[in-house]
């Protein structure tokens, strides 16, 4: 009995050449098919990358501003009335071990800041008049955008420093202008940059503590204390802060940590990254369906090619590998283009916003692997369909 010759082995180079032949023969179709995968991977890498870059910038900002700032404000008494911080609160806080600095602001009642005396007193533009200590900017880690902050000399006179939002609402471009506060003109000596850890300062007109007490009816009670401590003692200071500020009624004191809000924002951005990853995955699946559709059409169009190769000795496994290679290559090329486009989006966003460039490694790896996996799954059915064709079926014409 004559033994049949063993089928020729298909080497890796030959397999790649045969698999890519279909793509070279139909370049426009290949580009359009890979475009779906590219869009999905680009969406995944780009969106997750933007979230990663934003979170890195926020964490860098938190590290720069510090997490050792605590704020103290009065709460409510048991009777429901608003309580006050004792006048001795600042001095008492400075005695707590680990405290490195204390500053305060106090709301000046019935005082409004207006651009001119022609504007009605009911029009406040959302600007609060606050008495401020001279070390406020240092305690908050803020900066003066233009001019100078209050000093021990200027805080005794009718001068004012405006927060960033206050200056914008009052139409003040820089120092030297005047604003009308509590029936008198105040000279603007400085405008602050935005204060991330104390947004209430951005909407305030800050006047000297001593001048407010002497001329504006300020009672000298702070409405907000800002306390800085060493990183190691933040929690221990927080545990005794309320009792130190108001020993008789510590329950009427509210303690907060401004950096917690920024940290929560960073955590929210991490959650959004998972959402963006899911959106990209949906787009990838849609691209995979497109590739599967194209591969099925390709099998139908290339029946004679399949029949000819089968009649020349190609095995079903080799036919299957040919179409799988074509599908995976098509998807991989789309994935590579999508990764490149996503990285360009991340780079552009980081450059425009001035944020540190942090590459979304998980999204890059996940997008590339998902593209290959989806390509393999998309080509599995067409490859099996092509492999099941007998030479006579494939060569038959309709």
331 within domain boundaries = yes
The pLDDT, as a whole number, for residue 12 is 55
Q: What pLDDT is recorded for position 126? A: 85
| Phi, psi (rounded to 5 degrees) for 353 | -85, -5
Phi, psi of 117 (to 5 degrees): -80, 0
Question: Could you tell me if residue 174 is inside a domain?
Answer: yes
Q: Do 105 and 204 share a structural domain?
A: yes
The domain boundary, picked from 204, 227, 256, lies at 256
Residues 82 and 54 in one domain: no
Q: Are residues 280 and 143 in the same domain?
A: no
- Please indicate, yes or no, whether residues 224 and 252 belong to a single structural domain of this protein: yes
Do 250 and 101 sit in the same domain of this protein?
A: yes
Residue 107 included in any domain:
yes
Q: Tell me, what's the pLDDT at 263?
A: 65
Task: Look up residue 363 and give its two tokens.
Answer: 């999204």
What pLDDT does residue 63 have?
65
Question: Does residue 41 lie within any of the structural domains?
Answer: yes
* 278 in the same domain as 229: no
Number of domains composing the chain: 2
Look at residues 224, 256, 288 and tell me which one is the last residue of a structural domain: 256
| Residue 113 sits in the same domain as residue 93 | yes
Looking at the fold, whether 91 and 145 belong to one and the same domain comes out as: yes
The torsion defined by the Cα of 283, 285, 287 and 293, in degrees rounded to 10, comes to: -150
Does 97 share its domain with 235?
yes
| 281 within domain boundaries | yes
Instruction: Examine the domain organization and report whether 334 and 223 are in the same domain.
Output: no
Looking at residue 122, its pLDDT comes to: 76
The answer to the question of residue 6 being in a domain is no
Domain, as residue range, for 318? 12-62+263-395
Mean pLDDT per block of 10 residues along the chain (398 residues) reads 52 60 67 76 79 72 71 77 83 89 91 88 84 92 92 93 94 92 93 90 95 91 90 86 87 82 62 67 71 69 66 70 76 84 85 78 76 75 69 59
Q: What is the pLDDT of residue 250?
A: 86
> Where among 235, 256, 277 does a domain terminate?
256
Residue 377 lies in a domain: yes
What's the CA gap between 83 and 73, in Å, rounded? Answer: 9
Query: Domain for residue 275, yes or no?
Result: yes
Are 221 and 280 in the same domain? no
Whether 19 and 161 map to the same domain: the answer is no
């Amino acid at each position: 009995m004559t033994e049949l010759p063993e089928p020729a082995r298909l080497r890796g180079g030959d397999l790649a050449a045969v698999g890519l032949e279909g793509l070279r023969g139909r370049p426009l179709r290949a580009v359009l098919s890979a475009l779906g995968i590219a869009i999905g991977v680009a969406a995944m890498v780009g969106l997750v990358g933007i979230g990663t870059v934003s979170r890195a910038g926020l964490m860098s900002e938190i590290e720069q501003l510090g997490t050792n700032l605590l704020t103290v404000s009065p709460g409510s008494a048991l009777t429901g009335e608003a309580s006050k911080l004792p006048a001795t609160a600042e001095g008492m806080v400075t005695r707590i071990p680990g405290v490195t600095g204390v500053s305060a602001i106090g709301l000046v009642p019935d005082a409004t800041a207006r651009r001119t005396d022609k504007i009605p007193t009911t029009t406040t533009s959302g600007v609060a008049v606050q008495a401020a200590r001279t070390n406020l900017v240092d305690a908050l880690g803020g900066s003066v955008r233009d001019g100078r902050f209050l000093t021990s000399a200027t805080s005794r006179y009718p001068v004012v420093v405006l927060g960033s939002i206050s200056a914008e609402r009052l139409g003040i471009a820089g120092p030297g202008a005047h604003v009308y506060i509590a029936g008198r003109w105040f000279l603007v000596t400085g405008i602050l940059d935005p204060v991330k850890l104390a947004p209430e300062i951005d909407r305030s007109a800050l006047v000297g503590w001593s001048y407010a007490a002497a001329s504006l009816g300020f009672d000298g009670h702070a409405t907000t204390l800002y306390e800085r401590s060493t990183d190691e003692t933040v929690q221990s200071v927080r545990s005794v802060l309320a009792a130190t500020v108001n020993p008789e009624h510590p329950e009427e004191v509210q303690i907060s940590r401004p950096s917690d809000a920024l940290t929560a924002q960073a955590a929210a951005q991490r959650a959004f990254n998972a959402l963006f990853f899911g959106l990209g995955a949906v787009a990838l699946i849609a691209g995979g369906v497109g590739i599967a559709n194209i591969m099925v059409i390709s099998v139908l169009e290339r029946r004679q090619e399949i029949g000819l190769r089968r009649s020349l000795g190609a095995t079903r496994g080799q036919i299957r590998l040919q179409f799988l290679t074509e599908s995976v290559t098509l998807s991989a090329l789309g994935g590579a283009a999508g990764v490149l486009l996503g990285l360009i989006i991340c780079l552009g966003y980081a450059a425009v916003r001035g944020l540190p460039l942090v590459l979304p490694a998980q999204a890059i790896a996940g997008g590339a692997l998902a593209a290959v996996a989806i390509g393999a799954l998309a080509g599995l059915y067409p490859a099996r369909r092509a492999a099941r064709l007998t030479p006579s079926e494939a060569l038959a014409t309709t």
